[in-house]
Amino acid sequence: MEEKANTAELYQKLNERVGKVILGKEDTVRNVLCALFSGGHILLEDVPGTGKTSLVRALAAALGGACKRVQFTPDLLPLLHLGWRAESPSIPISRPSDG
């Protein structure tokens, strides 16, 4: 039961800290924190200038971590940034390569 209380307290603290920086995006902050606590992933998509990067930076600062940003455009695939590519469509094995 104590672990639940600690998790709820941590959630509340993070929500307050991020909420001081990100205004009017309570649902988005809640969803990002839920993904964080559940060990999931989240893809933030929105029009430019809506605070996506600021949200991630605020969360990283609240956790004492660092933040790096990757900008995707329609002509780029996430695969290009990860550095993996398939050698041949007939061979399902991939090898690391410079991204």
Q: What does the pLDDT profile of the chain (99 residues) look like in tens digits?
A: 677 778 899 999 999 999 999 999 999 999 999 999 999 888 888 888 999 999 999 999 999 999 887 776 666 665 555 655 555 556 555 555 554
Q: What is the pLDDT of residue 40?
A: 87
15 neighbors 36 (Cβ within 8 angstroms): no
> Could you count the other beta carbons within 10 Å of the beta carbon of residue 47?
6
Q: What is the pLDDT of residue 51?
A: 92
Q: What is the pLDDT of residue 1?
A: 64
14 neighbors 63 (Cβ within 8 angstroms): yes
